[in-house]
């Protein structure tokens, strides 16, 4: 199947899951994850109408965004971000989904003030309670949201998580439900109020489940581009096949 055909299938699956969860067919945004994929193949997806793209690593994202300059796309940074990479990430990303600590918020704010622009951000939460995963502990989210109000250039839009890597569907759903509860509490109690509506959760293996549990954004790569050659452990700690993952089994 071509990239356009696979993209079409994924969009249909998203649409069906959205309707199943009582929402409009276009209620869920697809961020197409392009890590390890060459610009020419990404361009096929863009030609098939894809506008939201996601990268996990700053240098790879920057290179790809430069190769695809002029295309009508918006890049999201979805991987762990070091504060010393802030300058580079802001060269291409219109959104950072992996905001997980105050020092990073501070570094982003400083650079954004210099550039005179704002940035959409999602707060990454560690819903699986694995020591290996990035993200705030759920209990730390309300305090973090209060502190974020000090940063004028950051526009918090909601939350992002990676579910536990397990074939146990109930366990995966539990992670998504935790993020949804955090979002629902934030909508009610956080100073930012009702703008914190986004839930970025679900990847190739579980985006249907994530949408059933309320995802408004899914991050999908392999379901469109096929299996990656590089193991997931290259992109995040705790992925299957890494020591950290083996410890949690
Ligand atoms: C790679 C990645 C995804 C997409 O994973 P696929 O298995 O390719 O769908 C989603 N989120 C993050 C943070 C990623 O790094």
Q: Which residues line ligand 1 (CB under 6 A)?
A: 33, 35, 56, 78-79, 162, 203-204, 219-223, 235-236
The values of phi and psi at residue 29, to 5°, are -90, 135
Q: What is the CATH number of domain 3-239?
A: 3.20.20.10
| Atom 15 in ligand 1: residue holding the nearest Cα | 56
Residue 45 burial by Cβ neighbours in a 10 Å radius (0-12, 13-18, 19+): buried
For ligand 1, mutation pick of 7, 33, 133, 217 (most atoms within 8 Å of CB): 33
**Cα atoms found within 13 Å of the Cα of residue 198, Cβ hemisphere only:** 24
Which atom, in ligand 1's list, is nearest to the CA of 221?
8
Measure 222 CA to ligand 1 centroid, in angstroms: 8
Q: What is the pLDDT of residue 239?
A: 62
Measure 237 CA to ligand 1 centroid, in angstroms: 13
Q: Which residues contact 107 (CB under 8 A, 6 or more apart)?
A: 83, 84, 86
Over residues 128-149, the pLDDT tens digits come to 998 878 999 999 999 999 999 9
The values of phi and psi at residue 120, to 5°, are -75, 135
Band of pLDDT at residue 242, cut at 50, 70 and 90: very low
DSSP SS3 for 66: helix
Measure 47 CA to ligand 1 centroid, in angstroms: 21
Go through 17-38 and write b for each residue having 16 or more CB atoms within 10 A of its CB, e for each that does not: bbeebeeeeebbbbbbbbbbbe
Strand partners, 54: 33, 76
Over residues 97-121, the pLDDT tens digits come to 999 999 999 999 999 999 999 999 9
Mean of pLDDT values over 216-225: 98
Q: CA 201, CA 99: separation in Å to the nearest integer?
A: 14
């Amino acid at each position: 199947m071509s990239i356009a055909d696979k993209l079409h299938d994924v969009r249909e699956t998203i649409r069906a899951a959205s309707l199943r969860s009582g929402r409009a067919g276009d209620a869920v945004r697809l961020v197409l994850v392009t890590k390890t994929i060459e610009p020419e193949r990404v361009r096929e997806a863009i030609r098939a109408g894809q506008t939201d793209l996601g990268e996990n690593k700053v240098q790879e994202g920057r290179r790809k965004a430069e190769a695809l300059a002029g295309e009508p796309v918006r890049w999201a940074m979805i991987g762990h971000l070091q504060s010393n990479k802030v300058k580079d990430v802001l060269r291409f990303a219109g959104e950072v989904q992996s905001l997980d600590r105050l020092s990073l918020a501070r570094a982003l704010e400083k650079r954004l003030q210099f550039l005179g622009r704002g940035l959409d951000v999602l707060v990454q939460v560690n819903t699986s309670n694995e020591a290996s995963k990035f993200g705030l502990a759920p209990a730390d989210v309300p305090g973090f949201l209060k502190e974020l109000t000090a940063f004028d250039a950051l526009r918090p839009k909601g939350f992002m998580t990676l579910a536990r890597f397990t074939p146990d569907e109930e366990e995966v759903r539990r992670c998504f439900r935790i993020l949804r509860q955090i979002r629902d509490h934030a909508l009610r109690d956080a100073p930012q109020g009702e703008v914190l509506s986004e839930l970025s959760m679900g990847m190739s293996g579980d985006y249907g489940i994530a949408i059933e549990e309320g995802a408004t954004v899914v991050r999908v790569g392999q379901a469109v581009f096929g299996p990656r050659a590089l193991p997931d452990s290259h992109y995040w700690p705790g992925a299957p096949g890494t020591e950290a993952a083996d410890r949690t089994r």
